[in-house]
Amino acid sequence: MEDLFINWWCWMLLNIDRVLQLLAEGKSIEKIAEMSSCETVDVVKIINDARELLLKYEKPLAKKKLIIKKKSTEPEAPTTVKEVNSIREILQGADLSVIPVKSPITIYATGLFNEKTNRSGIGIVLFDKENRQVGKLSDYIGKKSDLVCEAMAVIRAIRLAKHIEASDVRLRISSEILMRYIEGKSRDRLPELGKYLEQIKELSEKLNLKFEVITKAQNDKAIFLAQKATEKAFKHGR
């Protein structure tokens, strides 16, 4: 009886959107539990319970905000701190509204080093098949070269696409140089880029992904978000 009361009370305090919002803000599972006067296992159980509800009512919830969801063949929710922290990492700096699952998605992504702030950031914008903006991401990534920033933006974009189980992904970037590296057409070797290219290759497997190179003018929203991330980090002394 006591366990039921705890579960009910935690559920009242922590709906799934709130949990993920706190995770995206950088809060750990332990911190969320502390803020809500719950145990860590209770927070994880809430995520697990929410997963079961999403799987049970998949169709009516498809038009609503959906952050944590896996294929119906994999009904298990993330049950470890590592798994949930991985989701938090993917969603860091994200602002997602109505994300359709298992649907085509178009993603604009870029990364840059801002000389004025001496910091790097990535920017991502997501559009659904009706060309409606359904999400964006602006995240500070430390101090990296422009090319590495671009690669990190691509990695985050692919991870987001896999997270929402996009059926088809059109990934638009404005770096022809990075595109040549991804396609294996560049003869230049950049050791600092190697591990990121490997991640892109690995993440792209079993994903219906198509890259497109666009102009910076066409990628202006993502560029703005990347710059915004560096300015915010500079303002807060990060």
Full set of structural domains in the chain with CATH? 2-92 (no CATH), 95-235 (3.30.420.10)
- 13 vs 182: CA distance, rounded Å: 45
Q: Per-residue confidence of the chain (238 residues) as pLDDT tens digits?
A: 445 444 444 444 445 666 666 666 666 777 777 776 677 777 777 777 666 655 554 444 444 444 443 344 343 455 567 777 888 899 899 988 767 778 999 999 999 999 999 999 999 999 999 999 999 999 999 999 999 999 999 999 999 999 989 999 999 999 999 999 999 999 888 889 999 999 999 999 989 999 999 999 999 999 999 999 999 999 999 9
Residue 34: strand pairing partners:
none
For residue 92, the tally of other CB atoms under 10 A from its CB is 17
- Predicted structure pTM score: 0.69
Supply the DSSP symbol for 97: -
Q: How many CB atoms neighbour CB 182 within 10 A?
A: 21
Q: Rounded to whole angstroms, how far apart are CA atoms 105 and 160? A: 10
